Structure 1
Amino acid sequence: MTRSTLILRYAAFAALATIANLGVQRLVLAFGNSAALFTLAIIAGTGAGLVLKYILDKRWIFHDTSTGARENGRKFLLYTVMGLVTTALFWATETAFWLIWETHAMREVGAVLGLTVGYVVKYNLDRRFVFTDRGAPA
């Protein structure tokens, strides 16, 4: 796979995971907007996006053909942990931009920057620690 193909696929999968996340959130929030439903929406949306991105990355980015609940459970747990690390990076960047400039425009610049860096870091962490059986494309 060429580098361009890899980048386009990875970006497309990130976009699909984001759409799934927000779609599930909207579905849950269609039942109301209480604090409990908001919390459920965030959790359900994050879970939907995470599972979709894992499945797509496993097959189409890292070409991982491993099977079995135990092996996939281990990989999914590692994949999730790597996501926690990069989510912290994203939140920290977005928050720093908000605290420094105190505008929504700059907060969003920080969010985009944090997400971009986070996804690059996530790919490299996943390649190094999660999908190690066959090796990912360079």
Structure 2
Amino acid sequence: MNLKTLVLRYSFFAALATVANIGAQRFVFDVLGDNALIPAILVGTAVGLVLKYILDKRWIFYDLNGGISDHGKKFSAYTAMGIVTTFIFWGMETTFWLIWRTDMMREVGAILGLAIGYVVKFHLDRRFVFTNSMLSVGASR
């Protein structure tokens, strides 16, 4: 896959996961009310994480291995790599909320935090999770 295709595909998947994350957060706020920041962030993060793992595994890193054991190991490592990037996301979202106290600015913070986190996460996943990946930037498949 060439670099342009990789960047476009990864960006699209990141955008999908971001929309799923923010959508799940809005759902939690609708159900639990305006003071549900922590549950909303946790549910949104979980939804975005699972969706992004499924997309990345198959369409970014071309990891076609299956089975519960393989998925369990990879998803655990994928989640562990996401801890650092999740703190970037949560920190930005919470900071924007504390400064401006509006839903719009909280979501701006979330989107910025997710964007930064996804760039960092790609490099961590490539190095530590999908170690047998067929991904070769710049080479044709």
Residues 11, 25 of structure 1: alpha-carbon distance in 2 compared, 3 angstrom cutoff: same
Contact 2:9 2:60 in 1 (8 A): yes
Which residue of the partner structure matches residue 24 of structure 2? Answer: 24
Unaligned runs of 5+ in 1: none
Letter in 2 for 1:48: V
Identity %: 51
Check the 8 A contact 1:89/1:118 in 2, yes or no: yes
Return closer, same or farther for 1:34/1:88 CA change in 2, 3 Å cut-off.
Answer: closer
SS in 2 for 1:31: helix
Aligned-partner Cα distance in 2 for 1:14–1:20: 10
* Distance (Å, rounded) in 2 between the aligned partners of 1:39 and 1:85: 17
Q: Does the 8 Å CA contact 2:14/2:115 hold for their aligned counterparts? A: no
Kept in 2, the 8 Å contact 1:63–1:134? The answer is yes
Contact 1:127 1:135 in 2 (8 A): no
Q: CA deviation at 1:116?
A: 4.7
Q: Given that residues 60 and 135 in structure 2 are in contact (C-alpha distance below 8 angstroms), is that contact kept between their aligned partners in structure 1?
A: yes
Q: Would the alpha carbon gap of residues 38 and 118 (structure 1) be closer, same or farther in structure 2, given more than 3 Å must change?
A: closer
**Partners of 1:56 and 1:25 in 2: how far apart?**
21
- Cα-Cα RMSD: 2.9
Q: How many residues align?
A: 128
| Greater RCO, 1 or 2 (C-alpha within 8 Å, sep 6+) | 2
Q: How many Å separate the matches in 2 of 1:123 and 1:47? A: 18
Q: TM-score, normalised by structure 1?
A: 0.76
Segments ≥4 residues shifted beyond 6 Å:
none
Corresponding residue SS for 1:66: coil
